[in-house]
Structure 1
Amino acid sequence: MPNGSLEKYLYSHNYFLDIMQRLSIMIDVACALEYLHHGCSPPVIQCDLKPINVLLDKDMVAHLRDFGILKLLGEDESDLYTKTLATLGYIAPDANLVPPTDNHLLKKLDCVASIMNVTLDCCAESPTSRTSMKDVVGMLQKI
């Protein structure tokens, strides 16, 4: 992909994504996950979603890669195949995500807060309590 991985944009001082670009990438990834969870038979769960596995094309549209670590679910959602070696560790967002001098500061802070609410909905301890990717896509598109 011409623009490399999302990792380059999140962890490098030479690249920058503003909040709207990040939201667009989140929507792209959520749409891809929605397709994998609800559009495939059997459903596919990508168990190693991380910035290096999100590739950006020439238009900064996000695409998923690395399905070596995945879970296939049957109709009763019992595991048919699982290989789980997920990567651990997160880093705080870049300090310039929402600069304090931004003219649209409050709107962008509301956007970040809404994204965090969606994130928390996806992190319920019980998988059955987590928000579905169909709902995540809808929530992100409304932000």
Structure 2
Amino acid sequence: MKKMLYFITILVLSFCGCRKNDDDGKVKLPCLMVKVVRITCASIVMQVLDNDSLGQDGWKDITSGVVYDNVFTVSAHCEFMSLAKPKYDVGSVLYVTVNDQIHLDKCVSCLLYDAAPITRYRVITHDGSKCPAGSK
């Protein structure tokens, strides 16, 4: 019985996680180096280049047949494209911060089914510059 209780405790603790907080108690989100993999009227797909723990693994781009790891769909793609300066194309490498606030994209987008990754993040760009000091 004790072994079973010990096993259950270890199992529960293995599913627990922690996130770094700023001094003011807000969750500290990492700045990431990403590459734009695909842009369609329905979605923007990015690949995380410097963190293997984020994004979806084994996603296949149905337009090219290439399989990618650590990819995600930009959840507010109209907002991203309107705020991003300079404008980004497929293959562009940029630095972004994941913004975990819930946001509904209020733009007209096409209903194209492009089999985008299920993992979605809202991101904020750093306008082509590197990550701000202390944000990694």
Bigger fraction of residues in strand: 2
Bigger fraction of residues in helix: 1
Q: Larger C-alpha radius of gyration, 1 or 2?
A: 2
Task: Give the TM-score, by structure 2 length.
Answer: 0.25
